[in-house]
Structure 1
Amino acid sequence: MKVRIMGFTIDPTKKPSLNDLMTNIEADFIDTNNENEKRGGRLLFVDTDSYNDYYVGLVITAKDAKTYCQLKQDADGSMKLVVSDLDPDSSLMEFNFFIVKKDNGIGLYQYYHQSCSMNGTMKLLNQRFNIVHRQKVEEAKELYIKTENLSKKKATTKANAENHDRFKWQMLVSEEKLSKILAHMKRIKALELNFSTLEAETDEFRGLKDHVVKNTQRFLFSQQSKFRDLVKNVMTCVNNSDADSGRVIAIDINDNEQTFNISENLDIFGVYDFDDITKKIDSLNIDDFASSWMIEELINICEERSEYFKAKLKVK
């Protein structure tokens, strides 16, 4: 199995700031286990102090399985499926390390199949950002009531006006690859987004919700749609949704249908063998994740590919 390193950008904000978000998580890490007792949950840790230029993070996805399966071959060549129990104090888990540059919000994310997607991690960050935002508004409101003798309504309005930023992010997409697609395509026909769950809105589908393995939503586009604008909107849609994956169906200049997986057009900053990485982080103490081999490798990539990570992004 391959482990890939992908890039992303988080839009810089002032109120609350990216630093407000990261320090909040560092003080009180994200834990969704209580919300997902029946199917495991996720832990998200952040370290803001170990590196001057980077926030570093770790996402752990705990699995609720109590057993695991192995395929074993006996001396006579016959194969057996062997089910083994986990240690009572252990659980199966997936891991994802990430880093974010403090000055511009550009970062790297380590991912492999079945681990937490970049979308999944950004959703967790967005949820915490909203909590921090509400805290900042409440603090500002109380301050204005106390120091400026404003009414509760006026203080709330002023606090909301000053703390207006929202969490926005996007994947780093290879302009070169997109340009090649644009050069040979005539129009986008459809967008398909794949979800691992079904949010049933009508009664006839509610009975299927607990049985869904993959839910695909397909969007068909007008032939008059401008290609470049549509590609931009497609990427925004994928970033802002909870989709596990997506693909664009396009029509080339010869009227042939072509399909492009969105993930294949991301900038990939490194590819590693899963077994090699797990050996390097074996017995890692979670409290020391900031000094792990994977975090150091992500930072090395940033330094070596500085043309990507020295960009200055405008603050809202």
Structure 2
Amino acid sequence: MESKVRANNVTEFIIVGLFRDPQVQRVCFALFLPVYLATVLGNGLIVLTISTSKSLSSPMYFFLYYLSVVEISYSSTIVPKFISDLLAKIKTISLEGCVTQLFFFHFLGVTEIFLLTVMAYDRYVAICKPLHYTTIMSRSVCHLLVAGSWLGGFVHSIVQVFITVQLPFCGPNVIDHYFCDLHPLFKLACKDTSEEGLIVLVNSLLAVFAFLFLVSSYIVILVHLRNHSAEGRRKALSTCASHITVVLLFFGPAIFLYLRPSSTFTEDKLVAVFYTVITPMLNPIIYTLRNKEVKIAMRKLWGKKNSGMD
């Protein structure tokens, strides 16, 4: 398993994968392929439902539409290759492919972080400033917030990629992970990467600030709800519960991995599986199970399809 070397630079990496045992890998293939298909179909159904339903025209569903688009793209950056590698004896990826995967993984991941933050702000305005909601969350503002989320993700990712392409890879070429990420690549660089690691840490603090903003938004919402009736509190909390669940599922593992020193423990890879494979599948389930309007719109969409087939 020698690397292809040109001018003392590694041009191809070998990926260790999640597990080394071929039998375990085949079990993982049988498990994760349906999970990925469910991710694409579930989020795709939300995109289709929101885009065709007139009743789901509020800013909350506008943001949910783009969140589902990001989830499909984000999952597709990692999971298809991960699944195909489970059946391969030797798992390889070119340096260019590795950098491309790294770019889109961080671009879409941070875009999702910003979208979740925007959705928290939307819930804050809806619950705490209901009389001014339509003015504050106008269509143009919503478009700007979504565009800002994409731009924020792009800028963050460009910084990560710029750091990576500067690294010299001249020796080991085995990535102890199932996809290309910063910490595994830092371990293969032919130089001390403590300085680059610090820049990455500072760049990743965006996620911490977003998380703190999210927490602050919901603390303010909870304090504000004390003055509401029991029915009002129940209704307001029901609209927030799904969003809080998604936030915890996404931010928890990501903060655990990126805001501490890197390690080689298999547990790290298992945690990464949770937010790259499992969470994108759970999001449409969480939003549809806890949201009556989405379920009604889906039933109407299904009814139209059935009537069209008759």
TM-score normalised by L of structure 2: 0.29
Quick check: which has more Rg, 1 or 2? 1
Higher helix share: 2
Higher strand share: 1
